Amino acid sequence: MAFPHLLATPAYATRTDDKRASTARQRLSQNVRADRFAVIEAVDVFSENQKREIFYNDAARLLKLGAKQVAQHHE
């Protein structure tokens, strides 16, 4: 190779790129979650109780609640 130093990626660029990619993934995840909530709210197929259960289960999964905690909330 004639210029191998041009192919090497500096460490600072890698960290910056990783951070940008992570931020982009987080924003995409938030947008997808927001879109999903909007769709669930707009659909007339689900009752209010079913919608509440869907939102609760999503939050419980996001917060990584255990089965015991979920059971306590449903009492």
36 and 61 inside one domain = no
Find the angle CA(64)-CA(65)-CA(69) to the nearest 5 degrees.
Answer: 175
Whether the pLDDT of residue 33 is over 50: the answer is yes
| pLDDT at site 3 | 53
73 and 56 inside one domain = yes
The answer to the question of residue 2 being in a domain is: no
Alpha-helical segments (H) within 1-75 = 4-7, 11-42, 48-62, 67-73
Q: Looking at this protein, which amino acid is placed at residue 31?
A: N
Compute the distance between CA of residue 57 and CA of residue 74 in angstroms, rounded to an integer.
11
pLDDT digits (tens, 9 = 90+) for 36-57: 778 888 888 888 999 889 889 8
Whether the pLDDT of residue 66 is over 50: the answer is yes
Compute the distance between CA of residue 45 and CA of residue 1 in angstroms, rounded to an integer.
62
Confidence band for 1, pLDDT divided at 50, 70 and 90? very low
Domain that holds residue 52: 46-75
28 and 52 inside one domain = no
The answer to the question of residue 54 being in a domain is: yes
Whether the pLDDT of residue 5 is over 70: the answer is no
Tokens representing residue 49 in the block: 């109780």
